[in-house]
Structure 1
Amino acid sequence: MKLSSLISNGMVIQRNKPLTISGEADANQKIEVTFLEKKYTDVASASGKWSVTIDPTEPGGPYQLKIVGNKEIHIDDILIGDVWVLSGQSNMELPVIRTLDLFGNEMKAVNYPEIRQFSVPQIYNFHQPTETLIGGEWKKATPEDVLNFSAIGYFFAADIYREHNVPIGLIASAVGGTPIEAWMTEATLREFGEYDEILDQSKDDQYVKDTMAMEDKREQDWHQALNSNDQGMIEEWFNADTDTSDWQTFDVPNSWEGTELESIKGAVWFQKTIELAEDFTDHETMLNLGTLIDGDYAYINGKLVGHTGYKYPPRRYPVSKGILKPGKNTITVRIFTTESVGGFVQDMPYELVTDQETIPLTGAWKYKVGVITEALKPRTFFQYFPRGLYNGMIAPISNYPMSGVLWYQGESNVSKPNGYYELFEKLVDDWRQTWQIGDFPFLFVQLANLETGGDDNDSYWAKLRNEQLKSLQVKNTAMAVSIDVGEANDLHPQDKKSVGQRLAKCANALAYKQDVEYMGPLYQSHQVNNNTIEISFNHLGSGLIVRGEQLNGFVIAGSDNVFVHAEAKIENDRVIVSHPDVVEPKNVRYGWSDNPEQANLYNKEDLPASPFTTE
């Protein structure tokens, strides 16, 4: 008897919608399903396939579902409430455990057993949509499991649960680094005409297998050569008594850019000695090493306390008791760079922390190069290829009714922002066709702020955000703006609570039909009045406000299309934009930057305005 793994203990069923349960059994086997004292029957076909459809049900639980065929299966602890699908790339996938710098104390007290998450196994399929989901299980938002929930999903669900008091099921189907094309159907992608070659190539199983094997070996060989040739590993520079008298000095935190280390691919060792008081070692201790590029091994007094293989995760390494000691302690960090310019990312915490004290680790460290290698060529990430994840991770959950979708994606399409709106529109249509439950709410996150060093006048991030703004033309969609809750130095900002709560406002309006303001001000129209441009907005809520002393983030241009920082003020819930040197203004932009940190226009509901251009 084969069932989708979604149909399992702890499942949350969408209320007030029929649920079709299908599976495989012996040919011609009679199947009897019992749920809430109702019986549903079917007879398996010659190929063994069967299905029954359970009647729509009101919220409640826990219940049991029984399936009898050639054996009897009991599925226990079933709740009926609202189910939401979470999809996109890493900022949707990012787990609660990665947000503990901000929400650590709050998460210690979390105990919502009626909020549950099912994580879809990360599988791609280049041949056809997968029918039956294999792997994964339902987990509860309790201290044992909540740290592995999608952070956005959890904070969204907590708000919805408290507001509506019904069980919430989250189906997390997101994969870091993925472009939107990976989540679309092959038929739709072929309509665009530019994906045919890669769609055909990825159907060649031997090509995929050979490429993966070759790249696995290349990566293994690179790390093996790195480790075997690293003088620091050979001489054990991680030991506390290492002689660093001939090592150079490096000021932490800093990039290697502009230093002798800039071009190095390989391993560089850093060491710092600190003095600890007698009672410091009595407490639980965390070594915080910000974010390091690319990977690292961290040691204290010769003992390995943490290791991260790539550049994005924050380094938060618990230090076991007995490693630190009163007096002199040595911290050693071996950083290896595969393809990036290495460094200690700035404006991050570098410290030893207990519940009583914080010892800063910034300032002068000693360093020495362990080994210089060739750059490691990047992998071919087949999970990024068009239609693979739609087939592997969306199709097999599409017979499971739900309330709507939360979508956070776009970073991997920034390099080609123009036309993202058309892809998004087609994606939503694909999914609505696939689920066949109507135009369900599709709630998405506009990209957060990030400092990339790019040109504001040609900001690809701003262009992508503008494409996302256009995407609100798609029926029954809403957008959570996040330009004020990102981190300029981190692609994966920790404040997922604000994002989840903004998405919950969108859900309250679109799915739960509450009469609430659910988005910040959105550009509606503009009018040129002599030497000013007057901007009108939708989603004013109770009115426009400035967060701060004066309105910032606007630039203005005349017919020469040269944008300059503008003066802006709110009058009668419109924004009047001008500049003394632009006497015949033509266009205005707002928040038009990779990192629009100056943008501070909100409505009184404290929701930020979306970046826009009048062009």
Structure 2
Amino acid sequence: MKVYQKHIVLVVLFIVGLVNNAMATVTLPSFFTSNMVLQQKANLPIWGKSTETTVKVTTSWDKKNQIAKVVNGSWEVNVKTPVYGGPYSITINDGTELELTNILIGEVWLCSGQSNMEMPLAGWGKIDNFKEEIAAANYPEIRIIQADHVESAQPLTDLKVQNGGWQLCSPETIGEFSATAYFFARKIYKEKHIPIGLIHSSWGGTLVEAWTSAGALKTIHDFDAELKAMQSAEDKAALEKKYNADMQVWTAQLEKADKGMQGTTAMWAMPDLKDESWKTMELPAFWENKGLTDFDGVVWFRKTITLSDNFDGKEAALSFFADDDDKVWINGTYIGTTAGYTVNRNYTIPANILKKGKNTIVIRIYDGAGGGGIYGTPDELTIKSGSETVSLEGAWKYTIGANLKDLAAKPYMPQGQNRPSAIYNAMINPLLKVRLAGVIWYQGESNEKRAEQYQTLFPLLINDWRAKFNNEKLPFYFVQLANYKAKKSEPSQSEWAEIREAQFKALALTNTGMAVATDIGNGEDIHPKNKQDIGGRLALIALDKQYGVKTNYSGPLYKSYAVNGKNVTVDFTFNEGIKAKSGILKGFAIAGADKVFYWAEAKIEGNKIIVSSDKVSVPVAIRYNWADNPDGNLTNASGLPASSFRTDAWPGITHGKK
């Protein structure tokens, strides 16, 4: 055959191949792709759809063929996986062959939660040493798959994923992936050299009930109205109508309560306002870290700046980040408003507003919960015209316009992804047939206002997932919330401490583990950048409980207490080598029957701690690290921090909130 004829034959064969691929009738769930990891030593299903009558599935590790009947367009077979290894392939043929290659058998972990689980190495996360960590992330036997953010009123059967499915962990792929999940897998892999598959399905700013099935939530009746509205357009319309009416009334009350407003006129935005009595705050910063601890409401900020000729009468741009909503005036002229704490403010200042010399910028911030203020980095708080940029970092005058404590509670209706069960339906339900080694979870920040309810919701989610994955012993390891917000000089109530208590109580469930993180957070950043230790601490739990590696994976955990005169003796599990991490023990508080807590002296006797205070002659209760941003230093031979705890059951600040 002549050369040109051979070329013609090859072209024809290539075209035939394309046609066959185009006519291929087998379709698979999105997470069945080449490069995937399947759970070792498991009996697991492989399933999909076809327009043919039968499908043959061949697995290379045992060279077995299975024939599945196609019923109503769907088929399924069960395969047995060996001990870890590979690479292998799976061939699926219904008349047109589809081959999945470079498959590893190993350990598959589901990684879920809100933004601290979602936080990537690079991107918006930029964890500690992210450039070096990404450059070193060459672990081809760690495989990753990233779920897209999707929510649904009804359970879905397929997961929407990014990047076409499974990818090998490399410097090119890891940058936008969960840092916590990656460091968890890396530590296990370095110790055991078992292939690890990470299914990352998380979503920042989400509530635990959104990750829980409707069936489970119906058993507690806290979300019946919302669940009913998700099933009925009529009920949804009625719920939205009531919510919108309530919000209109509440917003009017807020505007009326705002001292900076007089009717519709922003009196505090006037350029000639006398603001000498206003306090000063260094920006950018969350105001909780600058003296307005636990404040939610309206704060007005004013700054007078001097501008050059480049700004005189010119159009300009004002940029900053705000939490939650803002309104802006410049030289008394209203510029605009933006809602949403993750939105970068980029305001265009029309020509003839700015002038050479002194100019007054007024920003009214409304914050409904959590951190509030004008935040970000100094280079994100600027005003610019042409080639000249002026930093607005530094001292701003501020005063309070309205305190939400003076108003009725803001109406609330879960919407979008935070509707009960909405994320479970779209981002967990499609995975229920997947066989897992376990789950790692980092969530709770968004439920802080309902921390007492979290004592019910969190174990409900764990048991729900175990039931839905058909594995009542499914390992479930989670992160206790890190330290955050401003430190307080005296013992006080704390929503974050109450969330941590709920997480601690979830350890009563079997096959659970908790990574304590109150020593590696950041008071000014809800997203601590030390994800290496977070992932590593989760891995220590898994290594000890599942992989036969003896580790010291926990700091001391409260067990019991006994009162003896003025002293209270506290006992712990994981008490071997109990000690202060440095200096004297800190973080303990003590109270009598009056429920007033005072800082206490704590000393170690054997493997127990004796707590007392001259201010409490008849002690009744002990608390440790009971704060948003505690500084307790109790540890043990592991060097890991003790969990916060309390011995009392007095109603907290989230009591009864649902």
Same fold (TM over 0.5): yes
1:479 to 2:514 alignment: yes
The AA in structure 2 aligned to 1:387 is S
Are 1:525 and 2:550 an aligned pair? no
Between the aligned partners of 1:335 and 1:378, the Cα distance in structure 2 is: 26
**Structure 1 CA distance, aligned partners of 2:98 and 2:219?**
44
CA deviation string 1:157-190 (max 9, x = no partner): 1101101101111111111222211122222211
1:611: which partner in 2? 644
1:120-519 maps to which residues of 2 (within 5 A)?
A: 120-127=147-154, 129-136=155-162, 137-204=165-232, 251-254=282-285, 293=323, 311=341, 343-345=373-375, 350=378, 363=394, 381-451=415-485, 457-519=492-554
Measured against aligned partners, the alpha-carbon deviations of 1:214-252 in whole angstroms (never above 9, x if no partner) come to 99xxxxxxxxxxxxxxxxxxxxxxxxxxxxxxxx99854
Question: C-alpha displacement at 1:338, in angstroms?
Answer: 7.1
Q: Shift in Å at residue 40 of structure 1?
A: 3.0
Equivalent residue number for residue 146 of structure 2: 119
The residue matched to 2:584 in structure 1 has which SS? coil
Which residue of 1 is the match for residue 129 of structure 2?
A: 103
After superposition, the C-alpha distances for 1:183-220 in whole angstroms (9 at most, x for unaligned) are 222222111122221111012358779999x99xxxxx
Q: CA separation in 2, counterparts of 1:451 and 1:20? A: 46
* Cα separation, 2, equivalents of 1:188 and 1:18: 27
In structure 1, C-alpha distance between the alignment counterparts of 2:49 and 2:557, rounded to whole Å: 50
Cα distance change, pair 612–263 in 1 and its aligned pair in 2 (3 A)? closer
Which TM-score applies when normalising by structure 2? 0.71
How do 1:555-566 residues align onto structure 2 when only pairs under 5 Å count?
A: 555-566=589-600
Which whole-Å CA distance do the structure 1 matches of 2:87 and 2:239 have between them? 47
Q: Does 1:20 align with 2:60?
A: no
Please, which of 68, 73, 77 is the counterpart of residue 52 of structure 1? 77
2: distance between equivalents of 1:171 and 1:254?
A: 35
Moved more, 203-212 or 503-512: 203-212
Letter in 2 for 1:581: K
Aligned-partner Cα distance in 2 for 1:418–1:183: 18
Residue-by-residue CA offset, 1:102-155 (whole Å, 9 max, x unaligned): 22243242211221221122222323x322334432133211111111111011
The answer to whether the Cα contact below 8 Å between 1:272 and 1:365 also exists between their aligned partners in 2 is no
| Distance in 2 (alpha carbons) for counterparts of 1:554 and 1:258 | 24
Superposed CA deviations along residues 545-571 of structure 1, whole A, max 9, x for unmatched, are 212211110000112221111111112
* Structure 1 residues 397 and 335: alpha-carbon distance in aligned structure 2, compared to 1, 3 A threshold: farther
1:80 paired to 2:127: no
Secondary structure of 2:451's partner? Answer: coil
CA distance in structure 1 between the partners assigned to 2:372 and 2:459 by the alignment: 39
Instruction: Determine which of 62, 66, 69 is the counterpart of 2:87.
Output: 62
Q: Deviations over 1:300-350 (max 9, x none)?
A: xxxxxxxx99545999xxxxxxxxxxxxxxxxx9989675797444xx754
Map Cα deviations across residues 436-456 of structure 1 (whole Å, 9 max, x no partner).
244021101111112168995
1:605 Cα deviation from its structure 2 partner:
1.2
Q: Distance in 1 between matches of 2:128 and 2:362?
A: 27
Deviations 1:499-551 (A, max 9, x none): 1111011101222133322111000111112211011110124x112122111
Unmatched 5+ stretches in structure 1: 216-247, 275-288, 297-307, 316-332, 353-359, 368-376
1:418 offset after TM fit, Å? 1.5
CA shift digits 1:65-97 (9 cap, x unpaired):
211114221212211111111111111111111
Alpha-carbon separation, structure 2, partners of 1:342 and 1:521: 34
State the TM-score, normalizing by the size of structure 1: 0.76
Aligned to 1:370: none
Computed over aligned residues only, the root mean square deviation of the Cα atoms, in angstroms, reads 4.0
**2:142/2:197 contact within 8 Å kept:** yes
8 Å Cα contact 1:25-1:44 kept in structure 2: no
Cα deviation, residue 379, structure 1: 9.2
Q: What is aligned with 1:591?
A: 625
**2:564 aligned partner, one-letter code:** N
Partner Cα separation in structure 1 for residue 637 and residue 603 of structure 2: 16
Q: Which blocks of at least 5 consecutive residues in structure 2 are unaligned?
A: 1-25, 245-274, 309-318, 327-337, 346-360, 381-390, 399-410, 649-658
Aligned to 2:133, the other structure's residue is in SS state helix
Q: In structure 2, what is the Cα distance between the partners aligned to 1:210 and 1:73?
A: 49
How far is the alpha carbon of 1:419 from its aligned partner?
Answer: 3.6
Helix, strand or coil at the partner of 1:577: strand
8 A contact 1:42–1:51 mirrored in 2 = no
Higher CA-based Rg? 2
Distance change >3 Å, CA 495–CA 211, structure 1 → 2:
farther
1:205 and 1:493 mapped to 2: Cα distance? Answer: 41
Q: Which amino acid aligns with 1:104?
A: F
User: Hey, what's the Cα distance between the residues in 2 that align with 1:90 and 1:481?
Assistant: 17
